[in-house]
Amino acid sequence: MGERKKPRGYIGVLIVMVVLGGLALALVLTYGKQFGIGPVGAVSTKYADALKVAMHFFDVQKSGKLVNNKISWRGDSALEDGRDANLDLSKGMYDAGDHMKFGFPMAFTATVLSWAILEYGDNMESLNQLQPAKDSLKWITDYLVNAHPKHNELYIQVGDPVADHECWDRPEDMTEKRPLTKVTTSKPGSDVVAETAAAMASASLVFKSSNSKYSSLLLGHAEDLFSFANEHRGTYSKNIPGVQSYYNSTGYGDELLWAASWLYHATKDSTYLEFVTGEDGKDYANWGTPTWFSWDDKLPGTHVLLSRVSFFGPEDASDMENISEYRKTAEVIMCSLLPDSPSATASRTQGGLLWVSKWHALQQPVASAFLAVLFSDYMLSSGTSKLECDSESFSPSDLREFAISQVDYVLGDNPMKMSYLVGYSEKYPQYVHHRGASIPADATTDCKNGWKWLESDKPNPNVATGALVGGPSESDKYVDSRNNSMQGEPSTYNSAVFVGLLSGLVSSSSVPKTFK
């Protein structure tokens, strides 16, 4: 073929395009630096791919009779859970690498997953992940509905953790007894009951437009549970000492505020706002004091969630002065996270990861990054250009960059040069502390004869796709050993927070000003 001739004026047009293009890019970068908007799609593919992987772990953890099972090595399990109380508690999700159903962290999983859907559902939908997220959420809330058969009664655990941890078997082959544990007025647990109320209230918003009947059912349970938690106060792990070795609660005040905040968003009933701004807020909110968001401490999440009211209204909300205290505390938290802030925490590894605990080390960094993305987008959506941290000011993009630093560490930008998200990239943990993943699907095991699979020096025969392992040591090291539960065991609640974080980073976008 002959050489294709360029039309007259091509060079001149090209020069104009380059100049205008450069100007446009400069405007995008300048505007983006101020308001947190970057070139759309610049990093979205990486986070989109990671989100698709992370979503699989909820399917890995499902209990009960599996519908449209997407995990080839999983099958029906725990079909008789709840039978002793004439209840169907077969659904829900296994907590981590074991076969326990712990209501406290499971409800937190549901609340955070709901929050992620409410804020970033459009991003999920663009990747065909919204419906899977809603399906996973409903798998938990179906269980929680059945776990609340009476007004002042909530079943908060299925299985005996001591007996459960004496076994190494597949969930499909479990033979050990599955006793039930509940809280009542005589043995109250305001923390776990209020967290369950938060899960129901937030999920009611998720299903409001697509399944109004189910949404109303959830909201009714949420309001009833909040009354139970508020009127019969007590810490569940004090009243039921047997749970202290696993999910010991440090108090219930944060859960009461967290639940009331979600109920306000779900109902617009001002009495819930009055609850968080009144005496209970003054007693439990610890305004001005930053803490770490986790399954046990809901205060950071509450501060960020209630800052929505300050950012977006309604302006006639009662006691806006105390509402502003939540936003101010959220700002203190954000300032502690930003590495260049005068009040930045020094608790970080050499590789740049926030460092709080050697157990499940990724929990607080991922949760903090999720809150940072949310707050960044609240600023963006409200036209708030600056966050004041003592003598310095920061933009929404600074918060986003912090969040990106944490998620990139998780996905491989770390001294180990490995992904801590199983199934993502070419290098990720092969010896995840997870019973089902460690035992071949065609193996016949019972409680005692499955231990050989724990001790095996071969990689897991099944990939626990989407599992977010515990994480590295303070020196940025990771020992990939099945016996290393401290670093190698995943959990559903950490996965929920990570899904929220990834959903917020998929594209440069704002959040809805109201949950409809």
Higher pLDDT, 510 or 272: 272
- 392 phi and psi, to 5 degrees? -115, 155
pLDDT of 113: 98
Task: Give the model confidence (pLDDT) of 395-405 as tens digits.
Answer: 999 999 999 99
Partnered with residue 64 across adjacent β-strands are 77
In angstroms, the CA 123 to CA 509 distance is 9
Residue carrying structure tokens 């605990």: 357
- Tell which residue, 59, 51, 127, has the closest CA to residue 424: 51
For residues 131 and 8, the model is more confident at 131
Look over the chain and give the mean of its residue pLDDT values, rounded to a whole number.
Answer: 91
Q: What whole-number distance in Å separates Cα of residue 66 and Cα of residue 91? A: 9
Residue 485 pLDDT level (bands cut at 50, 70, 90):
very high
Arithmetic mean of pLDDT, 485-491: 97
In contact, 377 and 397? CB cutoff 8 Å:
no
| Residues noted as catalytic | 98, 433, 480, 489
- For residue 313, what pLDDT is reported? 84
* Domain 36-505, classified CATH 1.50.10.10, yes or no: yes
User: E strands along 205-321, which residues?
Assistant: none
The predicted model scores a pTM of: 0.91
**Identity of the amino acid at 373:** V
pLDDT value, residue 232: 98
Contact of 471 with 500, CB cutoff 8 Å: no
Q: What is the pLDDT of residue 274?
A: 95
Judge whether residue 250 has pLDDT over 90: yes
Contacts of 120 (CB under 8 A, 6+ apart): 500, 503, 504, 506, 509, 511
> Of the candidates 177, 226, 220, 172, which has an alpha carbon nearest to the alpha carbon of residue 198?
226
CA dihedral over 375, 381, 382, 384, signed as positive or negative: positive
Contact 354, 347 (CB under 8 A): yes
Q: What is the pLDDT of residues 24-54, one digit of tens each?
A: 333 333 333 333 333 334 347 999 999 999 9
Instruction: In whole angstroms, give the CA distance from residue 183 to residue 238.
Output: 11
Q: What is the mean pLDDT of residues 499-513?
A: 91
Whole-angstrom distance, CA of residue 156 vs CA of residue 247: 11
Selection from 204, 44, 209, 59 nearest residue 124 by Cα = 44
- What local confidence, expressed as pLDDT, does residue 315 receive? 64
The pLDDT score that the predictor gives to residue 314 is 78
CA distance 92 to 113: 14
pLDDT for res 318: 65
For 416, the token pair is 């180990």
Summarize pLDDT for 58-102 with one digit per residue, the tens: 999 999 999 999 999 999 999 999 999 999 999 999 999 999 999
Residue 317: pLDDT band (50, 70, 90) is: low
Instruction: Compute the average pLDDT of residues 292-302.
Output: 98
Q: Which two tokens stand for residue 67?
A: 């519908």
Say yes or no to pLDDT of 8 above 80.
no
Mean pLDDT, rounded, for 152-171: 95
- Contact 419/47 with Cβ under 8 angstroms? no
